[in-house]
Amino acid sequence: MFLEQKGNKTQKKGWIEVVCGSMFSGKTEELIRRLKRAEFAKQKVEIFKPAIDIRYDDENVVSHVGTSIRSTPVPSSGNILLLANAVDVIGIDEAQFFDDELPEVCEKLANSGIRVIIAGLDMDFTGKPFGPIPDLLSKAEFVTKVHAICMHCGDLAQYSHRKTKNEELVLLGEIEEYEPLCRKCFNLATKR
């Protein structure tokens, strides 16, 4: 955490980091890595995830490869403000599932001197921007886009192709429902 001297007071400087990409690209793994480094540096860390995400665990944030870190499930982004007390770093996983207030919540946290690290899908299964992620990308000081490997051709993949016929925007799933695809394979699969 950077400190800034203002007169006789030392203030923490906060910022926003976004880790985005397709499913199976390592977003959560990168979020956990950054949060564990902050804990190692003796910083106070709190992690939040949307209450609807219970794929691997009701409470912990868990990556596809099984790495986990304790977290607090919350029903809305406003709860993060209520629960973020005396922390240096806040992690937020699956940010695309939060409400449209998340960017404002993250700005308030960063403005109060907290480092905010967010992980989420930047596009939905149709290839369109997903939830609050576009606004978060525009407000972030640091953006990391991670890629999976295309399941059809082996190139870099940035799309989360839904293999099932379900048209609901939010469908929690894994490798049975989704596969990462590159642009060309995604366009072929969706007949664009």
pLDDT at residue 52 greater than cutoff 90 = no
Q: What is the pTM of this model?
A: 0.86
Residue 2 has pLDDT above 60, yes or no: no
Taking the C-alpha atoms of residue 38 and residue 21, their distance in angstroms, rounded to an integer, is 22
Fold of the CATH domain 2-146: Rossmann fold (3.40.50)
Active site residue 94: yes
pLDDT at residue 53 is higher than 80: no
**What percent of the chain is modeled with pLDDT above 90?**
70
Query: Does the structure show a pLDDT above 60 at 9?
Result: no
pLDDT at 151 over 90: yes
Band of residue 51 on the pLDDT scale cut at 50, 70, 90: confident
Q: Choose the weakest-confidence range: 85-89, 112-116, 154-158, 171-175.
A: 171-175
Q: Is the pLDDT of residue 1 over 60?
A: no
Residue 189's pLDDT is 94
How confident is the model over 148-164, as a mean pLDDT?
94
Beta strand 68-69 pairing with 61-62:
antiparallel
Most confident of 76-80, 83-87, 176-180: 76-80
More confident residue, 144 or 53: 144
Q: 61 falls in which pLDDT band (50, 70, 90)? A: low
Of 29, 94, 101, 176, the catalytic one is 94
How confident is the model over 99-109, as a mean pLDDT? 97
